[in-house]
A and B are shown apart, each in its own frame.
Chain A
Amino acid sequence: MVLNAIERVLRWLTALSAVALLAMVLLVVADVLRSNLLRRPIIGAIDLVEALLAVVVFLGLPQVIFAEGNITVDVIDHFIGKRAVALLRASGGLLTFIYLVLLLWHMFAPAIDTLTFGDITADLKLPVFYIWIPVLFGMAASALAALMVFLRQFRGSNEAGKR
């Protein structure tokens, strides 16, 4: 049940990421039309595109991690047994989890700096920390997804060993 709930959350995050991508496309088109037809570009379009890109990437990432969509080189599979492949997959999953947790942990310091120093975006003067919120949330969800993938692969390697 917990697994189902987490999967549902990951799908919702992907849906939000898709909405952000659509918003980015519409914003860019609106900006092009206003700049060329009315000679009045949308102020802050660049700030918004940058913020939307962060939302697209970090809210989309957890589902990609969960679906094991990372690019992996699998040449070795032809030379070793199934159990060894399962073990390598599980080790890859563990390293992915460690990598994402390390990233998450060390992303807090620069995020808090933007809050402490009151960093703002160039045109809209929005607090940069606002952009950090979905970024940190997405990173935490990605780390959680990586943990679940690792547990799944670990069980898979045990089963491959029993067979």
Chain B
Amino acid sequence: MAVQTIGLIGMGCLIALIFLRVPVGVAMGLVGLCGYAAVDGWAKAFRVFGEVPFDVATNYDLSVVPMFVLMGEVATQSGISAQLYRAARATFSGMRGAQALATIGACAGFGAVCGSSLATAATMTRIAIPEMRRAGYDDRISTGSVAAGGSLGILIPPSIVFVLYAIISQQSVPKLFAAGLIPGIVLAALYMVCALVTLMVKPSWAPSESAGSWRQRLHDLVSAWEVVVLFGLSIGGLYAGWFSPTQAAGIGAFSALALGLVRRGLDWNGLVQCFADSIRTTCMLFLIVMSAFIFSYFVVQTQLPGVLVGWIQASHVGPIWLIVILMLFYIVMGCFMDGGGMVLITVPIFLPLIVANGYDPVWFGVMLVVVVELGLIHPPVGMNIFVIQARVPDVPILRVYQGIIPFLVAPMILLAILVAWPQLALWLPNLLYR
């Protein structure tokens, strides 16, 4: 049997197993092992299979994962998100829909200390939705702005999805973090425009609010200094070239712990919870990463990426259409899979195709993360929607869907801007890491 046929059978089995509820990590590992054995024999396959877990779990570059996850968990537990929300509210105070804009702004700020969109959405649901309800906002605009804003967590550095992409595509983590920053800010601004336009069409969704006193606003703004310190020390140090990614993650986690403990927001139980949650997330990710490596060795053996490049070249699909097709594929896949799994499964297959068509792998990483974000919020199965609905179960899911629909335009506009003008993502990494 031709290796390419084995590859296609392997892909089919992987999809079938995942849909039959086999854990994603287990499905990738088993298909990778059996496929590799079918191409190159069991002896070699078992050799690779036995070595990969140790190699992955002792990979220095991957040590950023548990430490950035810990930084985000501590920031969540120690109440930094509430302060950010107050600061963002002070910024937009007096505008119609100030709290919806504040939610998106606070999510963007929280994304700067937390690498996970689900965590950002979960923590902001707890903070922003009760406040917006008290002020008389419609549940649709409040859940919509939390879902949309929450997705910024993985585009604004630090970002766990960028780290996974960097590892599997052998790109630089600092470059990817730099590439995500400006598109992240642009996306936050686009979400705000979406919120304002929605409120122009549906003015009854938000009450008119009076501006707070300047003294109060200044006080609330200054109270967000901790986020500035955390981001400045960790990611700022990384951009300035003071730290390696691992060092930036260690400094970030340590500073978050120190601030949490000194501010007394974090007690013993909270601390234990932070570590337990960080370890759970880390181990879940590592099991998938180990399996993804086993799977990617199989993909390389099957020569499928090369065949795919050949097909595309023979069918004369222009590079732009290739990107459009891939993005549509990811949007559909985002209905069923989480972002990390999606990146780890598909990048070994698609990246050679992207590079062969003249695209920059760093730019593609940003595109991928934006499309993963879209997957987090698009109905019917965006994970952020479920996270929010689980925390405010009295809001029917249909109302959450109605709330999120106006925001779906923003990531699509950003994707179009990135295609038309890749420098939006590449300017900063090229400036910093020439």
Contact = CB atoms under 8 A, between A and B. Distances in A.
A15 B312 CA distance: 51
Nearest to A97: B26
Contacts of B62: 53
Contacts of A32: 243, 247, 250-251
B54 interface: yes
B103 interface: no
Interface in B318-341: 335-338, 340-341
A125 B49 CA distance: 26
B58 A50 contact: yes
A95 B34 CA distance: 13
Given A53-B66, A99-B26, A25 B253 contact: yes
A72 B50 contact: no
Interface in A58-109: 58, 60-61, 63-64, 67, 69-77, 85, 88-89, 91-92, 95-96, 98-99, 102-103, 105-109
Contacts of A148: none
Interface string A34-61: 0010000000001001111110111011
A25 B53 contact: no
B228 interface: no
Contacts of A50: 58-60, 63
Given A73-B24, A131-B58, A61 B287 contact: yes
Contacts of B63: 24, 49-50, 52-53
A17 to B, nearest CB: 5
B19 A67 contact: no
A103 B49 CA distance: 7
B236 to A, nearest CB: 14
A17 B254 CA distance: 17
B282 A57 contact: yes
B19 to A, nearest CB: 6
Nearest to B65: A53
Contact of B276 (A14, A46, A92, A95): A14
Nearest to A135: B54
Given A53-B62, A99-B26, A89 B21 contact: yes
Interface residues of A, number: 60
Contact of A36 (B19, B242, B280, B341): B242
Contact of B20 (A24, A64, A91, A107): A91
Contacts of B47: 106, 109-110
B46 interface: yes
B251 A29 contact: yes
Contacts of A18: 272, 275-276, 279
B67 interface: yes
B132 to A, nearest CB: 30
A46 B21 CA distance: 38
A96 B59 CA distance: 24
Contact of A70 (B26, B59, B282): B26
Given A32-B247, A139-B53, A92 B21 contact: yes
Contacts of A106: 46-47, 49-50
B67 A24 contact: yes
Nearest to B51: A110
Contacts of B279: 14, 17-18, 21, 56, 60, 63-64
B254 A75 contact: no
B50 A92 contact: no
B247 A28 contact: yes
A120 interface: no
B284 A70 contact: yes
Interface in B241-261: 242-243, 246-247, 249-251, 253-254, 257
A25 B297 CA distance: 32
Contact of A24 (B27, B58, B250, B284): B250
Interface string B21-45: 1111111011001000000000000
B110 interface: no
Nearest to A146: B26
Contacts of A110: 47, 50-51, 54
13 contacts: A22-B275, A27-B250, A51-B58, A53-B58, A58-B57, A69-B280, A70-B23, A71-B288, A71-B338, A91-B20, A91-B22, A106-B49, A107-B54
Given A32-B243, A95-B30, 12 more contacts: A28-B247, A28-B254, A57-B57, A60-B282, A71-B23, A72-B23, A73-B21, A73-B336, A103-B49, A106-B47, A109-B47, A109-B50
Which 6 pairs, one residue from A and one from B, show the smallest C-beta to C-beta distance? A28-B250, A106-B50, A70-B23, A60-B279, A18-B275, A64-B283
Interface of B: 17-27, 29-30, 33, 46-47, 49-51, 53-54, 57-60, 62-63, 66-67, 70, 242-243, 246-247, 249-251, 253-254, 257, 272, 275-276, 278-280, 282-284, 286-288, 335-338, 340-341, 381
